[in-house]
Amino acid sequence: MNLLKILFTSFLVTAAYFVLSAQRVEVTPTFRFSDGVYLSFESFQRNQPDLVWSDLVRRSITNPETLVTQVEYIKNKETKTDLPLQEIWGICIDGLPFLRIPEDSIYKDLSTFAGLRVAGNINYFSYDNRVEKEYKIAAYNPLNGEPFRRATVKRPVTVFVEKVMDFETGQIYPFNQASMRKLMKKDPQLLTVLSELDASEEEYEEQLFRLLMSYNRRHRVFFKP
């Protein structure tokens, strides 16, 4: 009798596991997210936008090459009131999530959102920014070739910014070897490969990106219930 109880209990536990597994939805690179406005990272983790586009009106433009969206406004269709763009965590357009870039991290005038290029355990996005770089200049005496005046000037330069986001915590890091070491701490084998990368090599960025993709394949992640 006890054996039958044990077997029956084991059957129920196994059945419950498979039911729950079937109900979970995995985050994959090809997954189409639910369209709308996400006011928090927690909403994104559940794939449940707080507001849907059918209730809103927006004016925005998306660069299909850089996957950067600039938003002039998002209004409530019924009340005509503007949504405070600085309070939005992200938006999703045609199944692709875009994360809001803080105003102090981007040079553009409009609110800017960067599209996820990779979705999974480790998420990847990128965008261009403009920063001021200092240059030293000098004026030379044409008679003797000696400098008679030196100065430091600042000039704007465009830089390519790459970021990664932990799906479990929402923490955003620069896409580099140190950040990947933190994010891949659950995988000793990949950490060994990571430690052998040489940042001076020509294919360093590509190798780092391959490791990100490998980690996502080996460590599946699911939307929160």
- pLDDT tens, 155-176? 778 889 999 999 999 999 999 9
- Are 115 and 183 in the same domain? no
pLDDT beyond 60 at 13: no
Q: What is the mean pLDDT of residues 3-26?
A: 53
Confidence of residue 106 (pLDDT cuts 50, 70, 90): confident
Q: Which residue has the higher pLDDT, 22 or 212?
A: 212
Nearest residue to 165 via CA among 100, 210, 87, 71: 100
Q: Is residue 97 within a helix (H) or strand (E), and if so which, with residue range?
A: strand 96-101
Strands 56-63 and 90-93: unpaired
pLDDT beyond 90 at 209: yes
Q: What is the mean pLDDT of residues 110-130?
A: 96
Expressed in angstroms, the distance from the first to the final Cα of the chain is 37
Number of compact structural domains in the chain? 2
Tokens encoding 172? 């955003």
In a domain, 72, yes or no: yes
Q: What integer best gives the mean pLDDT of the chain?
A: 88
> 73: domain range?
27-125+161-172
Who contacts 219 (Cβ-Cβ below 8 Å, separation ≥6)? 121, 186, 187
pLDDT value for 21: 46
Tokens encoding 120? 């999974």
pLDDT beyond 60 at 22: no
Confidence of residue 10 (pLDDT cuts 50, 70, 90): very low
Who contacts 212 (Cβ-Cβ below 8 Å, separation ≥6)? 118, 122, 124, 164, 180
pLDDT beyond 50 at 150: yes
- Give the count of beta carbons closer than 10 Å to the beta carbon of residue 62: 17
Rounded-to-integer distance, Cα 120 and Cα 213, Å = 9
In a domain, 201, yes or no: yes
pLDDT value for 153: 67
pLDDT value for 166: 98
Who contacts 70 (Cβ-Cβ below 8 Å, separation ≥6)? 60, 61, 62, 108, 110, 111, 112, 113
- Are 111 and 193 in the same domain? no
Roughly what angle, to the nearest 10 degrees, separates helices 188-195 and 204-218? 180
In a domain, 11, yes or no: no
pLDDT value for 157: 81
In a domain, 100, yes or no: yes
Q: pLDDT tens-digit profile of 43-86?
A: 999 999 999 999 999 999 999 999 999 999 999 999 999 999 99
pLDDT beyond 90 at 105: no
pLDDT value for 9: 52
- Are 193 and 116 in the same domain? no
Tokens encoding 26? 């995995």
